[in-house]
Each structure stands twice: as C-alpha cells, then as structure tokens.
Structure 1
Amino acid sequence: MSRLSQSQSLNYQTARFMISAPTLAQCPPDDGAEVAFAGRSNAGKSSAINTLTRQKALARTSRTPGRTQLINHFSLGDDTSRRLVDLPGYGFAKVPEEVKREWQRHLAEYLRGRRSLKGVVLVMDVRHPLTEFDQTLLGWADDQDMPVHILLTKADKLKSGAAKQALQQVRQRLQEWEDLVTIQLFSSLKREGVDEASARLDAWLATEPG
C-alpha cells in the first residue's frame, strides 16, 4: 500500500460494498488497513457513513434500529487494501437477549482480533452520549490501545451553544482517555464536520499497518 502525501486525501465517494460477514472468521483477509464504525442503534451511524462517502444508501438506514447483525465491509474503489467497516448497532433492537450477547461477542472478537483495524469511529447522538454500550466499547479499545474518534451526531438538533457545551462535557468525562480518543460534532443533515472526520480517516488509512 502506498503512503499518502500530506496534501493527498482518499476519495471516499468511491466506496463500494465488498462483503457482509456474521463472524470475524468470515471477514476479508486480515491485511491492509481498515476503519470501523460503531455505535448504538439510532445514533446515526449509517447516515454518517453515507454522508462521508457522499452516497445515499451505501450503509442501509433502517426504521427498525438494530436490524443489521452483520459486519459489513466496503472497499475504496478497486483498492481492497483500504476498507471501511460498518459494525452492528446495539440498543433498541427488539431481539432476544441471547442474540444481543452473541452480537456483542462477535463485535468484541473483531475489535480484539483484527490486526488490520487502525481505528474506530464511535458514533453517539449528541443528545445522549456515553451510553453503557459506548463505555463498553471504549473499554475494549483501551485494552487494545486502539484509537477512537467520536462523532457526536445530530448536532443540528441542538443550538450551536448547546452543541458546543455537550462536546465539552464529553471531553471532560473522557479526560483519562485523551491520548486515545478524539471528539467532534457532526451533522449528516447539514454536512457539518465532514472534512474533520475525513481527515481522521485519511490519517488512519494512510499507511499499511506495520
């Protein structure tokens, strides 16, 4: 994989579906570099992926939160060595507890065992940040020294001052992880925060893991 120059950025508009995998073992070969998107159901994860890739339906949005139970991989055009990964959402899904625990087990295995994973984009609704699931995922990431970039989505639902206050509050609560976690406001509706998020993806996907 070639190294990107400082002025070069990846074209996320070329992202296209590769494969859906129910388990880590069925994911694509563990080489190159990939960035995974995680978030509680209804946090706006699919909308964020669609906004960042400038596609309307790359990641399917559903009126039934938690419907996606697969690890979905997307390549950047023909370059299958750089990938975006859409992880299953959790929270509001009306499924048995046993199924939820199974999803969680596969997610933990992916985060702990995927060598090509360079970073996680954790999507949170700015009005309801740091849910129990969010904190569990942050704990897994901390165990693996895995960098996390938090998108506080639906920022358009709050006035500017309130959104900035929410951002500051989350930063304060995550001070102990400040060497591992970065945070920003994001709005799919108004396309706010896209450049900042894209730059973070560029940094993670710029080089092949060594």
Structure 2
Amino acid sequence: MSDLDKQLRDFVRDGEVPVPHVPDLVERVAAAQRRHQQRRHRAVGAALVACVAAGVGVAGVLALGPREAVDPDPASAPACGSVTVESASVSTADTDPAPARSLAILLDGPAARACPLGPGVRIEIGTGPTSVGTTIPAGAATVPLGVGQRAVLMLSWRNWCGGPAPVVRLRFVDGSAVETVLDDDTPSCADPATPTALEFVAAQTMDAQPGASEPPTAS
C-alpha cells in the first residue's frame, strides 16, 4: 500500500467521510499526479530543445530558470497565490441512479507563506448557467497549508447536468485563485430541473510525497 493510499484511507476513516470507493479514488489521484509530473518533464524537455535550437544552450536555460521562478518580493504577494492543484478526482458511480460522488482536490503548498484553507474559501465547478459553487462555511476549522505541504479538500457532489470535463476553480480569501480541468467522470444527471449540489466535507494537510514542492532555500 502506497503512502498516498494509506493517507487517504486514514483521512476518510478518521474524518468519517462517506467515500464509497476509496481504492478507485486513490488510484485516480495517483494517476493524476503521474500525469502532472509527466507534463512538467515534457515542458522542461521542450524548453531545453528550443534553447539549443536557438543557440542559447543548456547553460542559458539554467541561468534563466531561477531568475524567472523567484518572486521579487514574496512577502507582498498573496499567500495563496502560488498554490497549485496537483489533481482533482471523482469517485466512481454507485448502484444508486443518482448517487452523491466524492470529489477530492489535492493542493500543492505555497512558495513563501502559509495559505489558510478555511471559512470563505470558495470552490466552483463549471461555467455558465449549469455552474455550481460552495463556500467553506463559518465554523469550519481553518487548515493552514504551509510551504512544501500538500492538502486535500473533500466535497460531496450530486446531479451534474453540465458538460464534460468541467473546470474546477478555487477562490481563496486573499483574492487569488487556482483552477484545473476534471475528466469525464462526473456525477450522473438524475434530474435536469434540479440544480446540481456541491457540499464541502472536510480539509486536511498531508505529508509531503516525493516530487512535491519544497521550501525555497536561502541563496
């Protein structure tokens, strides 16, 4: 059993989150992480090829990389502005014709300061008249997502009658936002006349895994 598998199982069990298909959800999260890492590797490779073709060379890439990545004044930037979505996965359908599906959003921590995941953070799915959103309610515990950490947001989602591959967007209380695109595994449309339902369930930080971002080191 992988570390990610164990953490998600412990999170579901300890938090009493009704996730009917944990193994499937774990595999989807893990697969999304692998795709994310592959895309990053392909992007780096493409950048190296382009620079060599232009006569810049690998040394030029190494010299330019840190300069672009460093925020000139990290303390003045929004705390959540550098948070990224590693994956967003939905559990498989149940035998119920209109089951509530579990949506897990895995976040990679910020670059400089902790990002608060708590009341006021808004989660939105889709665009236009079929879009749906929910806000972490007052009274929910704030989970600080620190530098180099990861966190998972769990939501319950039912009756999606929008299009395939909708956008999932998070709006943080500091005004910053991040988004990703879901695959085609969405809740079934049981009743087009009934609005889709999205509810926040829980949030929890997770131990950093290999490949996760690490705190910046002093130069």
Q: What TM-score bracket applies, with the shorter chain setting the length?
A: under 0.3
The structure whose Rg is larger is 2
Structure having the higher helix fraction is 1
**TM-score, normalised with respect to structure 2:** 0.25
Greater relative CO (CA pairs within 8 A, separation 6+): 1
